[in-house]
Amino acid sequence: MRQSQLFTKARREAPADEVSKNAQLLVRAGFVHKEMAGVYSYLPLGRRVLEKIERVVREEMDAVGGQEIRMATLHPSEPWKQTGAWDSVDVVFKLMSRTEKEYTVGQSEEEIVTPIAREYLTSYKDLPVAIYQIGQKYRDELRAKSGIMRGREFTMKDMYSFHETQEDFDRFYAEVKEAYLKIYSRLGLIAKATEASGGAFTTKLSYEFMVLTDAGEDDILYCNHCSYCVNAEISDQKEGNACTRCNAGELSRAKASEVGNIFDLGTKYAKDFSFTYKDREGKDQLPIMGCFGIGISRLMGVIAETFGDEKGLVWSLSVAPFAVHLVSLGKGDDEISKVAEALYVDLQKAGVEVLYDDRDLRAGEKFAESDLLGIPKRVIVGREAVASGVFEVVDRATGKVEKKSREALLAPSA
Ligand code: ATP
Ligand code: MG
């Protein structure tokens, strides 16, 4: 894409109404636009990042057999009253139509997916099934000060699974746990699976996936030797305690952000919606249900917090809006511009996602903005490129500078 065509522009100043690093950088760089506290629109660059994250999540959910659907976000109030969530879940938005009918907007989707599943899953032969979606969620959150990390509207991947036996649920649960760890690592993050109580849903154990960041709202205790990790809020353990799992390490305390969680819902929702299937003996049975969430837009915030530096955002290739920022130092129709134009066309032909800064601005201004946008590689087209066919390539994360020929830039592995 040509930067001269991009309708968003980077700003020099941080927005005065944002306190969190992720929102300050994302607003300044023109990735998101704030509508009100906790509600953001995603602009071309931001939307591309969200879609990259969604793609990774989708691939891994498809790999464990998830079937993607798109559920309604405007819900009737009845199923929410049926499960009790209408009165017991504090973040449920309540809307009233002009004919005084009550509605809500999805804050989670058990109330919608369970009746859908009941309609089709009638026999043990239909199980197991995992259904997921990637979509908007709405929550009446009291505090929304962490930029896109805690929204009143946000993007979530939520998957729901239905099983015949506890053993089958446990098998799937373990598979999804591994898939989650794979997702976070593909996004360049180190996530710890913490043991937590089941929160609003159940008293059974669940896992929360935590990324260490000072911008997080959770406190965790984790072992410096093994993978043991627990939410400090529910634990009677303290920093400095010996790890009870491996007996070799010691517990450290850190701030973290919850980027996903997985729950055993048992038969709660099947009971609420009288959802039974016929077992092998023809008897009615309640399926065991699981739910598996990932905060897609929160992940984008966590990545901005984790890798952003004093110059701006830093994206890894798996989530970057573009792979290459091609920065031309030419003006108008000069030699430099011609070389840059040709390289832009060739890079696109080679399948490289490239943002081409073809604007007539000073080099210093272009470089500062390029640093702010955080695209992994910057390819500079200056006089040297015209004279000797050599391009300067700057790695955004490390600042390392390399000289490359046109052929090297177009090679598949470049
Ligand atoms: P939290 O404790 O942070 O409020 P939660 O326990 O309410 O999270 P879930 O209802 O299980 O979260 O939602 C699944 C995932 O969606 C969470 O792990 C988190 O990554 C993300 N998420 C939850 N609430 C928000 C929010 N208000 N804004 C952005 N992402 C959110
Ligand atoms: Mg919550």
Ramachandran category for residue 59: left, alpha or beta (phi over 0 → left; psi -120 to 50 → alpha): alpha
Answer yes or no: do 242 and 373 share one domain.
Answer: no
Q: What is the pLDDT at residue 412?
A: 76
C-alpha distances (whole Å) from 404 to each of 37, 256, 339, 363 are 45, 40, 14, 20
Secondary structure of the chain: what % helix, strand, coil (to 5)?
Answer: 30, 30, 40
Instruction: Give the count of domains, the chain.
Output: 2
Residue 307 CA, ligand 2 centroid: distance in Å: 25
- pLDDT tens column, 80-129: 999 999 999 999 999 999 999 999 999 999 999 999 999 999 999 999 99
pTM over 0.85: yes
- Helix 44-63, helix 296-307: angle, nearest 10: 120
For ligand 1, what atom is nearest to the CA of residue 261? 18
Answer yes or no: do 106 and 241 share one domain.
Answer: yes
What are the φ and ψ backbone dihedral angles of 348, each rounded to 5 degrees? Answer: -65, -40
Q: What gap in Å lies between CA 104 and CA 86, rounded to an integer?
A: 9
Is the peptide bond prior to 44 cis by the omega test (within 30 degrees of 0)?
Answer: no
From the CB of residue 206, how many other CB atoms can be counted at a distance below 10 Å?
A: 20
Burial class (CB in 10 A: 0-12, 13-18, 19+), 36: exposed
384, part of any domain:
yes
Residue 184 CA, ligand 1 centroid: distance in Å: 16
Residue 138 CA, ligand 1 centroid: distance in Å: 11
Answer yes or no: do 283 and 335 share one domain.
Answer: no
Residue 301 CA, ligand 2 centroid: distance in Å: 16
Residue 320 CA, ligand 1 centroid: distance in Å: 23
Query: What CATH number should be reported for the domain holding residue 364?
Result: 3.40.50.800
For ligand 1, what atom is nearest to the CA of residue 208? 18
Range of the structural domain that residue 179 is part of: 7-307
Answer yes or no: do 70 and 195 share one domain.
Answer: yes
Which is more confident, 386 or 195? 386
Answer yes or no: do 261 and 345 share one domain.
Answer: no
Answer yes or no: do 266 and 375 share one domain.
Answer: no
Please identify, among 279, 307, 335, the residue that sits at the C-terminal boundary of a domain.
307
Answer yes or no: do 67 and 115 share one domain.
Answer: yes
Answer yes or no: do 117 and 218 share one domain.
Answer: yes
Q: Is the CB of 128 under 6 A from ligand 1?
A: no
Q: What is the pLDDT at residue 121?
A: 98
Q: What is the pLDDT at residue 332?
A: 82
128, part of any domain:
yes
Answer yes or no: do 332 and 296 share one domain.
Answer: no
**Which ligand sits nearest to residue 200's alpha carbon?**
1
- pLDDT tens column, 276-316: 999 999 999 999 999 999 999 999 999 999 999 999 999 99
Answer yes or no: do 283 and 378 share one domain.
Answer: no
Please identify, among 247, 274, 307, the residue that sits at the C-terminal boundary of a domain.
307
Q: What is the pLDDT at residue 7?
A: 98
Instruction: Tell me the pLDDT band of 413, cut-offs 50, 70 and 90.
Output: low
Ramachandran category for residue 71: left, alpha or beta (phi over 0 → left; psi -120 to 50 → alpha): beta
- Work out the percent of the chain whose per-residue pLDDT is above 90: 92
For range 214-224, the mean pLDDT: 94
Is 80 exceeded by the pLDDT of residue 197? no
Instruction: Tell me the pLDDT band of 145, cut-offs 50, 70 and 90.
Output: confident
Average pLDDT over the chain reads: 95
Answer yes or no: do 282 and 356 share one domain.
Answer: no
**Which ligand sits nearest to residue 261's alpha carbon?**
1
For range 45-65, the mean pLDDT: 98
Q: In which element (H, E) is residue 114 found?
A: helix 110-120
- pLDDT tens column, 355-391: 999 999 999 999 999 999 999 999 999 999 999 999 9
Alpha-carbon torsion 173, 179, 182, 188, what sign?
A: negative
Cβ atoms of 381 and 329 within 8 Å: the answer is: yes
Contacts of 87 (CB under 8 A, 6+ apart): 81
